[in-house]
Structure 1
């Protein structure tokens, strides 16, 4: 019975991982709405955050300023301020500030600075309060729970293999059957997580995803900024795609 301690460890690790991911997903699914704003129509910046997070909001702002000729995005990966005084909202001012007083900066250096700006944080908080976005804390907890289940699955597989090698061949069947239980529990938890838990590792909550699903235009040329917000830089013309990639 030298394998029983290994089995106990496998059960504990699998149980802790499954419990953690279930608790985290339930916390993420709990409504956070405070102002009845889930029914309000999304702005294009809000849609960008729900679809791709802070960096998508940054890309949207850069492209919007480029199209309005307040900013020049070169295919070489540099951003040049054309008219700093014309910067409109807080997001555009954050872009101008990130580029700096020289009026020119590499886009890869600008994107993370804008993504971490106060204006983007306030946008995210507003979406979380309306129940449309998953908070950073909830997303981290869910991702950590999924990692714990995956680690438990692999550890159980290793422990089961070791336990099977510790006993004579004619006694391995009950050992394999015993370790199959925590292995099956972890595997089912991972499988269910692909459907029920995975959405909470993304930016939009289920309510936010429902709003996004009917927002993206079928033709990117019909509303290029909305298409960029919901589908990413892949819908842009090659020159702008090259610029954002830096």
Structure 2
């Protein structure tokens, strides 16, 4: 029965990881508050639900560049033309650029993500049931990783157990069966999570995803496309180059 402690470890790891995944998946997938009839997302709200604070900052930069109140160079730098923001988000971005009036886009993204205006937007969406509370996405992703690790551990422990001399008449088939059941439970939990909540939501709740899905049907401008799909949706090649350059520079660091 030397394999029995290995089996206990395998089942404990399986039970803990699957329980965590089920709980976090339930929290992420359960419906939030239902928006009222006729509710339409603002562009900032759509950007946050689609891509979080970074998407909101990108949308603000593009909007200000289109209004010629900001210059976005193909080198990935932002230069202020008009230092007066039209709303709280624009004022936050201008503050993130700094008093010098010029900054690479990447630091602007990081600074704007922690501003009061961004936190207020996030809190408003969470309260409305349209956005997931902070940490939900990392909880789901972490739970999935834990189940995958448990499955790998079951395979390794099962292999070790099968290499041990058989301790009873039922032999290797009996040992393999118990480890296979644990592995099947891990695989089943991963399959259910993938079916129910994949792609694993990071920002939008089910109610928020429903509103986002209606945005393309309303037509919309280039800014709507940026809010929903990001800067890759820009039709202006110079603006695309500005964000592509800063993305490349950010990855190199």
Q: Is residue 193 of structure 1 aligned with residue 193 of structure 2?
A: yes
Aligned to 1:11: 11
User: Aligned-pair distance for 1:90?
Assistant: 1.0
Structure 1: 5+ residue stretches without partners: none
Aligned to 2:250: none
Question: Which whole-Å deviations, capped at 9, do the CAs of 1:191-221 have from their partners, x for residues lacking one?
Answer: 11112233553211111111111102697xx
Instruction: Output the TM-score relative to the length of structure 1.
Output: 0.91
Once the two structures are superposed, the pairs formed by residues 90-169 of structure 1 within 5 Å of their partners are 90-167=88-165
Aligned to 2:73: 74
Counterpart CA distance in 1 for 2:196 and 2:202 is 12
Question: Which whole-Å deviations, capped at 9, do the CAs of 1:118-153 have from their partners, x for residues lacking one?
Answer: 111111111111111111132232222222211111
Counterpart CA distance in 2 for 1:58 and 1:161 is 51
Preserved CA contact (<8 Å) 2:31 2:207: no
Counterpart CA distance in 1 for 2:36 and 2:178 is 48
Alignment root-mean-square deviation, CA? 1.9
Instruction: Output the TM-score relative to the length of structure 2.
Output: 0.88
Aligned to 1:65: 64
User: Aligned-pair distance for 1:29?
Assistant: 3.8
Counterpart CA distance in 2 for 1:146 and 1:118 is 32
Preserved CA contact (<8 Å) 2:70 2:82: yes
Counterpart CA distance in 1 for 2:156 and 2:241 is 45
Question: For structure 1, which segment, 181-190 or 115-124, has the greater mean C-alpha deviation from structure 2 after superposition?
Answer: 115-124
Counterpart CA distance in 2 for 1:178 and 1:58 is 52
User: Aligned-pair distance for 1:31?
Assistant: 4.9
User: Aligned-pair distance for 1:108?
Assistant: 1.2
Counterpart CA distance in 2 for 1:150 and 1:101 is 48
SS in 1 for 2:198: helix
Counterpart CA distance in 2 for 1:116 and 1:150 is 33
Aligned to 1:179: 179
